[in-house]
């Protein structure tokens, strides 16, 4: 949560959210408890719960009502990460062993399901049926996005449009839902709610595009997982999609994919091609476009401290190097 330390008011609120998360995830099952404790110790930016709380401050802010909602949204996000790791057969997440690496896929499935039930328990106690219905549709779309990604593995014909639709479902939808929840439950004006939702959507798109650039980083500590792990799993992000459109590189990519080995020297070659082809600059430019849209949405909101915090978040992400 270090990105929030400069915004002491929201940082303090997020510490309270952490308490709600810890309380909600207590279990009498010891192995489950250890798995959940590992997830909590791995930390995270807590962007989604922050968006719930910050959006709520543009209306009738009721921290007692929004705290469990913010905690529920973060637990829902944690559940999707656990299930992601199962699908990707990932050993490392945020620099720490994944649940499926430590206790096996069965236990990881149980943990992911447990997290989902706890998330919905928190949320259903604090929102109206209509908001719950919207959130259920968001979860449905996230699942569909994950399946789309799975079915498109190793497909070099994936278009930029396909990629954007995929990350809109995988990431941006939950950002949008976080802002919507905070706005709706605080009775924000329709205009403010509109700009908050679109801020969340654009921020989520920029966030995922920038995050995908990390796959090509040399800094393993920042990355928190092996370099080019997405590529090795057949998940082609924007830099690879851009590279595949260049005939000079496409045939080389096809040869590597067909070999199915992904030797270290081959992965290093791919990283070098991504850099020399202009794919990094292209990807950064698209992320900036979404970030600028998010900042435009913010400029239409009232100038309160919450807007400053949301602007700090956007600027932090814009300046974040891969």
The pLDDT, as a whole number, for residue 218 is: 63
Cβ atoms of residues 306 and 58 within 8 Å: yes
Cα–Cα nearest to 15, from 79, 67, 93: 67
Quick one: average pLDDT of 110-120?
86
Q: For residue 305, what are its two tokens?
A: 């401290």
The pLDDT, as a whole number, for residue 242 is: 93
Q: CA–CA separation, 85 vs 119, rounded Å? A: 19
Quick one: average pLDDT of 214-233?
68
Report residue 293's pLDDT band, with 50, 70 and 90 as the boundaries.
Answer: very high
Q: CA–CA separation, 173 vs 167, rounded Å? A: 9
Region for 94 from its dihedrals, namely left if φ exceeds 0, alpha if ψ lies in -120 to 50, beta otherwise: left
Residue 93 parent element (H or E): strand 92-93
SS3 label, residue 138: helix
Report residue 197's pLDDT band, with 50, 70 and 90 as the boundaries.
Answer: very high
Quick one: average pLDDT of 59-85?
88
Work out the angle at residue 229's Cα, subtended by the Cα atoms of residues 228 and 231, and round it to the nearest 5 degrees. Answer: 65
Cβ atoms of residues 192 and 301 within 8 Å: yes
Percent of the chain's residues with pLDDT above 70: 92
Q: For residue 170, what are its two tokens?
A: 């995988």
Quick one: average pLDDT of 111-138?
80
The pLDDT, as a whole number, for residue 4 is: 66
Q: CA–CA separation, 213 vs 241, rounded Å? A: 12
Higher pLDDT residue, 188 or 266?
188
- Residue 103 in this model has a pLDDT that exceeds 80: no
The pLDDT, as a whole number, for residue 165 is: 92
Quick one: average pLDDT of 250-276?
86
Stretch among 5-19, 58-72, 286-300 having the lowest mean pLDDT: 5-19
Structural domains in the chain, sorted by start: 2-319 (1.10.600.10)
- Residue 267 in this model has a pLDDT that exceeds 70: yes
Higher pLDDT residue, 132 or 47?
47
Report residue 58's pLDDT band, with 50, 70 and 90 as the boundaries.
Answer: very high
Q: CA–CA separation, 176 vs 174, rounded Å? A: 5
Which tens digits make up the pLDDT trace of 139-158? 888 888 888 888 888 888 88
- Residue 81 in this model has a pLDDT that exceeds 80: yes
Stretch among 47-56, 121-130, 221-230 having the lowest mean pLDDT: 221-230
Instruction: State how far the alpha carbon of 5 is from the alpha carbons of 59, 200, 226, in Å.
Output: 24, 21, 28
Q: What one-character DSSP code corresponds to residue 35? A: H
Helix, strand, coil percentages in the chain from 3-state DSSP, rounded to 5 = 75, 0, 20
Rounded to two decimals, the pTM is 0.87
Which tens digits make up the pLDDT trace of 157-170? 889 999 999 999 88
Instruction: Name the average pLDDT for the chain.
Output: 84
State whether the Cα torsion 304-309-313-319 is positive or negative.
Answer: positive
The pLDDT, as a whole number, for residue 2 is: 62
- Residue 220 in this model has a pLDDT that exceeds 60: no
Instruction: State how far the alpha carbon of 225 is from the alpha carbons of 24, 94, 168, 217, 304, in Å.
Output: 28, 7, 23, 10, 38
The pLDDT, as a whole number, for residue 95 is: 65
DSSP assignment of 248-311: HHHHHHHHHHHH----HHHHHHHHHHHHHHTHHHHHHHHHHHHHHHHHHHHHTS--SHHHHHHH
């Amino acid at each position: 949560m270090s990105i929030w330390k400069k915004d002491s008011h929201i940082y303090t609120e997020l510490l309270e959210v952490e308490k709600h998360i810890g309380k909600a995830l207590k279990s009498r099952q010891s192995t489950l408890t250890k798995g959940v404790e590992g997830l909590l110790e791995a930390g995270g930016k807590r962007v989604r719960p922050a968006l719930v709380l910050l959006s709520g401050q543009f209306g009738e802010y009721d921290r007692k009502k929004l705290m469990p909602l913010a905690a529920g949204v973060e637990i829902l996000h944690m559940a999707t990460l656990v299930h992601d790791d199962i699908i990707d057969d990932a050993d490392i997440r945020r620099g720490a062993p994944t649940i499926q690496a430590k206790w096996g896929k069965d236990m990881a499935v149980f943990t992911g399901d447990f997290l989902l039930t706890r998330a919905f328990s928190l949320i259903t106690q604090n929102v109206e049926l209509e908001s719950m219905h919207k959130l259920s549709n968001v979860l449905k779309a996230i699942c569909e996005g994950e399946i789309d990604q799975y079915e498109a593995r190793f497909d070099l014909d994936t278009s930029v449009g396909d990629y954007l639709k995929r990350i809109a479902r995988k990431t941006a939808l939950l950002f949008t839902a976080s802002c919507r929840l905070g706005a709706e439950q605080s009775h924000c004006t329709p205009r403010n709610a509109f700009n908050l939702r679109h801020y969340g959507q654009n921020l989520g798109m920029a966030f995922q595009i920038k995050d995908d650039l990390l796959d090509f980083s040399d800094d393993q500590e920042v990355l928190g997982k092996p370099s080019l792990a997405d590529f090795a799993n057949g998940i082609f992000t924007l830099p690879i999609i851009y590279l595949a459109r260049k005939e000079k590189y496409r045939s080389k990519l096809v040869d590597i994919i067909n070999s199915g080995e992904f030797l270290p020297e081959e992965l290093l070659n791919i990283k070098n091609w991504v850099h020399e082809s202009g794919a990094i600059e292209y990807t950064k430019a698209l992320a900036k476009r979404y970030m600028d849209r998010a900042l435009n949405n913010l400029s239409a909101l009232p100038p309160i401290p919450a807007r400053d915090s949301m602007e700090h978040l956007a600027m932090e992400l814009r300046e974040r190097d891969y």
